[in-house]
Amino acid sequence: MKYLIFGKNGQLGEEFQKALSNKNMKFLALSHKECDISDLKKLREIFESYKPDVVINCAAYNYVDKAETDFWDSYKTNALGVRNLSYLSKIYNCYFITYSTDYVFDGTKEEGLYTEGDTPNPLNEYGKSKLTGEKWVFEEDLNKYLILRTSWVYGEGKQNFIYKVLQWVERNSYLKIAYDEISVPTSTRTIVEVTLKAIKQELSGLYHLTNSGYASRYEWAKKILELKGIKKFIYPVSKDIFDLPAKRPKFSAMDNGKISSELGIEILRWDEELEALLKYKN
Ligand SMILES: NC(=O)C1=CN([C@@H]2O[C@H](COP(=O)(O)OP(=O)(O)OC[C@H]3O[C@@H](n4cnc5c(N)ncnc54)[C@H](OP(=O)(O)O)[C@@H]3O)[C@@H](O)[C@H]2O)C=CC1
Ligand SMILES: Cc1cn([C@H]2C[C@H](O)[C@@H](COP(=O)(O)OP(=O)(O)O[C@H]3O[C@@H](C)C(=O)[C@@H](O)[C@H]3O)O2)c(=O)[nH]c1=O
């Protein structure tokens, strides 16, 4: 089996390379510079020469606030790029895997966590671009594909909340963190482990893939500081005080029950996973 990975230098792309190397699996990973997924011609050359069995798309435009004004950039990667990859996966008969987000939901659901059956209604341009990407994958009607919606992803790298919290610690005498923004912190380690199991069992369709449980940004930040042994006061505030360009859902936690039961696994709670990953990194 040959794997083709896009978004090589991102958090998830890096984790996949680590995992596939450890398992001695054959793969080709490409960075944004090496291949822009909005470039169909270039993509076709790569598919033609490498002939992958599995295509994993870790490339994405993830700048939620910037996307409000640069919405063409987010659309180009998150919608058109995903369409290009699913189109070529169909032609070359590949198993196509791509990732989406909890921000496809508006956060107004009150009775429990979001399931795959709930209707999306994104509040911001980033969420709209990701939802368009999802729709185009469905339209391609592939034999085997996975759209894996995840949330609040962290791994090695800077494009995550943990990195931001640690920067705020350096720069401020105390932190102000939102108590009214709730979802599921999810590690790239969990995403990669579960994705590889899903590929092995040839699952196909839309699934929510997060760690278990849920937390506010405030609870998450408190846990990060506790595990890092950092003493800093955290003042809980409403997200509205930040007046950010993009609206974010207040409760977008997703239920991972469908993927866990189909794979027969239990996915670690967000706080247990964070503890396992941060404990030895102080
Ligand atoms: N980070 C998060 O909190 C969440 C992420 N997700 C989804 O999970 C997936 C993985 O995210 P994550 O690893 O955090 O993302 P990162 O932002 O860490 O990495 C994304 C990578 O994609 C590359 N990239 C951007 N545009 C293009 C393009 N047009 N062609 C090729 N490569 C491109 C970027 O390169 P460069 O930097 O050089 O542009 C970057 O290396 C994405 O689908 C994301 O939307 C879902 C929920 C939450
Ligand atoms: C500046 C600041 C922000 N915040 C909060 C409010 C704000 O909504 C939030 C912004 O953090 P981030 O920029 O990490 O959040 P954001 O980039 O919106 O994170 C999202 O990224 C995309 C890619 C996803 O798909 C989502 O699942 C989610 O992970 O942090 C504080 O609590 N304190 C602060 O001092």
User: Shortest CA distance to 122 belongs to which of 102, 104, 149?
Assistant: 104
- Report how far residue 249's alpha carbon sits from residue 183's, in angstroms, rounded to the nearest whole number: 9
Does the structure show a pLDDT above 60 at 122? yes
- Quick: pLDDT tens for 100-119: 999 999 999 999 999 999 99
Q: Which of 103, 126, 145, 207 is catalytic?
A: 126
pLDDT of residue 158: 83
- Quick: pLDDT tens for 18-58: 999 999 999 999 999 999 999 999 999 999 999 999 999 99
Ligand in closest contact with the CA of 209:
1
- Report how far residue 56's alpha carbon sits from residue 48's, in angstroms, rounded to the nearest whole number: 16
The residue whose CA has the least distance to atom 35 of ligand 2 is 176
For residue 250 the two structure tokens come to 């207040």
- Report how far residue 65's alpha carbon sits from residue 47's, in angstroms, rounded to the nearest whole number: 33
- Yes or no: say if 189 and 277 are a contact pair by the CB < 8 Å rule: yes
What number is the average pLDDT over the span 213-217? 98
pLDDT of residue 279: 74
Q: For tokens 């002939």, what's the residue?
A: 51
- Rg of the chain's alpha carbons, rounded to an integer? 18
Q: For tokens 């921000």, what's the residue?
A: 103
Q: Which residues contact 253 (CB under 8 A, 6 or more apart)?
A: 102, 113, 114, 151, 182, 183, 184, 210, 214
181 lines ligand 2 (CB under 6 A): yes
Which domains, and CATH codes, for the chain? Answer: 2-158+187-212+253-267 (3.40.50.720)
Alpha carbon of residue 61 to chain centroid: 11
Which among 65, 73, 78, 103 is the best mutation to test ligand 2's pocket, defined by most ligand atoms within 8 Å of the CB? 103
Mean pLDDT of the chain: 96
pLDDT of residue 237: 98
- Report how far residue 59's alpha carbon sits from residue 5's, in angstroms, rounded to the nearest whole number: 9
CA of residue 9 to ligand 2 center, whole Å: 21
Ligand in closest contact with the CA of 30:
1
Determine the atom of ligand 2 nearest the C-alpha atom of 221: 32
- Quick: pLDDT tens for 125-139: 999 999 999 999 999
Phi, psi (degrees; rounded to nearest 5) at 108: -100, 0
- Yes or no: say if 15 and 189 are a contact pair by the CB < 8 Å rule: yes
Residue 2's Cβ-count burial label (10 Å; 0-12, 13-18, 19+) is middle
What number is the average pLDDT over the span 246-257? 98
Burial 35-49 (b: 16+ CB within 10 A, else e): bbbbebeebeebbee
Q: ipTM of this predicted complex? A: 0.98
- Yes or no: say if 25 and 166 are a contact pair by the CB < 8 Å rule: no
